Structure 1
């Protein structure tokens, strides 16, 4: 029975981030969501609960499921921002279908693509991100935790930029905090009481991105209704477009026109609608490389990048690792009602020597993992993710069997020693400090640096 619905879903979306099935009483019978950390779908713990318990911000009038069960007609590609029972705010693009058996509607099935996912909204209505709640629900400058000189300069830049109307482009690796910066700009601006709308452009299928941004006019395509797009929803506030470089070139052209003229037209519409929006764009690649590779229009970049902010990776601000760990420990002690107040020196050393490809987000996840694993108030190596513990070990193992030939012990030991010295030099200010950390003499370290050509 469900095959036909899954087939219809596959024709609408290039990929699906969440799938939920609800019976006619409103009870969740099946629910999964994509977890990007493990590249797999997981059970989100909603099965057996009523949909209004799962999403307290919904009512029978606003719930797609109840609307579809009442009308018997599917709802296609509708953008919805809701807050779940855990206080997490998510913007979905949903397609919801009635499930029929013997000509009776017995439930609904809904497939969703995640447009954006917040982390800080504490059990409040889905309207918060649209400006109906005070701006403390968004991140502020105080949420940027750092003692790194470069990031402190960025914080000061944000403080100054926030009071202007200039558009901003934020670049940086995944997990460096680009949306945090965008929210902080909005929170400290004159627009802080107006909407802040966030959209991850890579999460939305190209075929429906235009209608999500610009809105639609009834009859413009099958199933289309008169509906505001994100431009209109963000009017007088801020529109944050993440992964701008993933946007189709044709839509980039229309976006540029909207920014220049401060007017839009809904898809299928003739009326021009005035907009007053501050635009903030972000990308996780170098913008100039994106332009060279044809992923980003040069004119759009230069129009948006009046202010450019480049977020440093966590490796570039290693002095922040310990204070971030302390911050996350306080956060999870509060959230999980625990009292974990110690972390071993070996764990600190491991954290400080790890490469953190996922940046601050990965560090946060590592601390959260440790809180889930800890059985007392002390975090040791056995409580942190294994891939972090065995990071250096795996590099040595890969070197040992590289090119299909095992390396002798002496060569492996030298390889490990070189890796250890390189990592230590990267997190200390000078050779004297590095030697002290490695517990060898300065002369011995100087000899090894020359030996390995570091």
Structure 2
């Protein structure tokens, strides 16, 4: 039986797999091999189609989708009593456990385990209907993060923490930027907790996880008649009034919608889609992006005027390769964490593996390191992890990089500790070792030791002092 935070599932009815673009790559609900009642449905009707095409009711309010939430947060999501319709008009109610698919530290999709509860039309008990309230939680919820949760000894990161604390308690907007996996989400959650604002007034939205044509209506709401099927619906800014809204992947918001966002930043006002009525909100905006703001402006992913409005509260999180002092901190932390999770007894790593970690590029940053350590600890029975315990894909990435005829001897330098080949250092170490051994043989007699070593006693005495050799 699968048990996640008290939510028990002893079987599943269907499995749904989507990629990061929400393209359905597998769905047993419509697979004839699993569901024999769907003889008229062909695979091309659902495979390689967008999730919102297969389940159009989700598109109207993407925030209620466990799949969207999972790809947005990168965490395991559990949702009970999710109601939705498929493209044939069939209605469903399900319990879902949605697990992110992560490769090289990046989210590449999600797999959802689905348990059908009852079809909506079969529910007649009014008391049972009351249970159809949204029950949504995230396993290993980042909302518990505080500034004390941030693992670092890096000066730049420590300064970023102090800056984030200051920005947490003032109304000015904040923009956190850095590469994928550098810890932007943890910083944001720490800021939210530090601010003291109730979680009921916090809205989190990954803008890259939403269809471009829906972002404006999701953020600002809609008015009845704005477009076919549009109803009066509150937007996320309405929901966050008096609190905080976190907009992840800010550079994914269309240019024209960024202009509307700028207006909210300036005076707190906006108009829902299709409405002539101006609304006012008091919302603190925290935004994040994995692209350098100046590059985003150059690539027309970010409006220059929006950048200027956010520039007073910008926080940069450096990539892991630029804060190498943190790498082994994370290695030791995650080894301990996954020892407990998987019942292992890993005590450390070899020097060769340490050299690899210290010289690797870490394109996926801390997130990539975390998942590599999890893979190594969970699959290995060794007490000391070595290069051979690395995930198989790492070898292709290091030695081949998808290309034939790569010079593997050159690439293997990533495993080398160049200090081990410092000739001067090695000669000093060897000299010290020989002198200590000869002094041991002569029981400390320097005259006799000098004769064996072929050097004057005075020279030996000088070397003993210089090399700090204890007698």
- The bucket for the TM-score relative to the shorter chain is 0.5 to 0.7
1:29 aligns with 2:14: yes
Aligned to 2:48: none
Distance 1:29 1:328 in 2: 33
1:261 aligns with 2:256: no
Q: CA deviation at 1:128?
A: 6.6
Helix, strand or coil at the partner of 1:80: helix
Of 354-363 and 257-266, more deviation after overlay is shown by 257-266
Q: Deviations over 1:200-225 (max 9, x none)?
A: 22222211111110112233222323
Q: Structure 2 vs 1, CA of residues 420 and 205 (structure 1 numbering), >3 Å: closer, same or farther?
A: closer
CA radius of gyration, larger in: 2
Aligned to 1:80: 63
Cα contact 1:76–1:96 (8 A) shared by 2 = no
Q: CA deviation at 1:293?
A: 2.8
Distance 2:355 2:27 in 1: 34
Distance 2:246 2:270 in 1: 17
Q: Structure 2 vs 1, CA of residues 262 and 378 (structure 1 numbering), >3 Å: closer, same or farther?
A: same
Q: Structure 2 vs 1, CA of residues 264 and 288 (structure 1 numbering), >3 Å: closer, same or farther?
A: same
Aligned to 2:164: 158
1:208 aligns with 2:191: no
Helix, strand or coil at the partner of 1:239: strand
Helix, strand or coil at the partner of 1:361: helix
Q: CA deviation at 1:78?
A: 1.2
1:174 aligns with 2:174: no
Aligned to 2:299: 293
Q: Structure 2 vs 1, CA of residues 361 and 82 (structure 1 numbering), >3 Å: closer, same or farther?
A: same
Cα contact 1:194–1:236 (8 A) shared by 2 = no
Helix, strand or coil at the partner of 1:306: helix
Q: CA deviation at 1:313?
A: 0.6
Distance 2:372 2:145 in 1: 21
Residue among 309, 314, 319 paired with 1:313 = 319
Q: CA deviation at 1:439?
A: 4.9
Question: TM-score when scaled to structure 2?
Answer: 0.63
Q: Structure 2 vs 1, CA of residues 150 and 293 (structure 1 numbering), >3 Å: closer, same or farther?
A: same
Cα contact 1:315–1:356 (8 A) shared by 2 = yes
Distance 2:286 2:182 in 1: 16
What RMSD, in angstroms, separates the aligned Cα atoms of the two structures? 4.3
Helix, strand or coil at the partner of 1:188: helix
Cα contact 1:350–1:389 (8 A) shared by 2 = no
Distance 1:157 1:337 in 2: 39
Distance 1:73 1:172 in 2: 34
Q: CA deviation at 1:193?
A: 4.5
Q: CA deviation at 1:241?
A: 1.5
Superposed, which structure 2 residues align to 1:218-367 within 5 Å? Answer: 218-367=224-373
Q: Deviations over 1:225-248 (max 9, x none)?
A: 332211122222221212222221
Q: Deviations over 1:308-353 (max 9, x none)?
A: 1111011001111111012222322333444433333332222222
Distance 2:341 2:242 in 1: 34
Question: TM-score when scaled to structure 1?
Answer: 0.65
Q: Deviations over 1:98-149 (max 9, x none)?
A: 465xxx958589xx9x9xx9xxxxxxx85679xxxxx983421122111112
Cα contact 2:264–2:270 (8 A) shared by 1 = yes
Aligned to 2:205: 199
Helix, strand or coil at the partner of 2:195: coil
Q: Structure 2 vs 1, CA of residues 76 and 193 (structure 1 numbering), >3 Å: closer, same or farther?
A: closer
Q: CA deviation at 1:181?
A: 1.4
Residue among 388, 413, 424 paired with 1:441 = 424
Q: CA deviation at 1:280?
A: 1.4
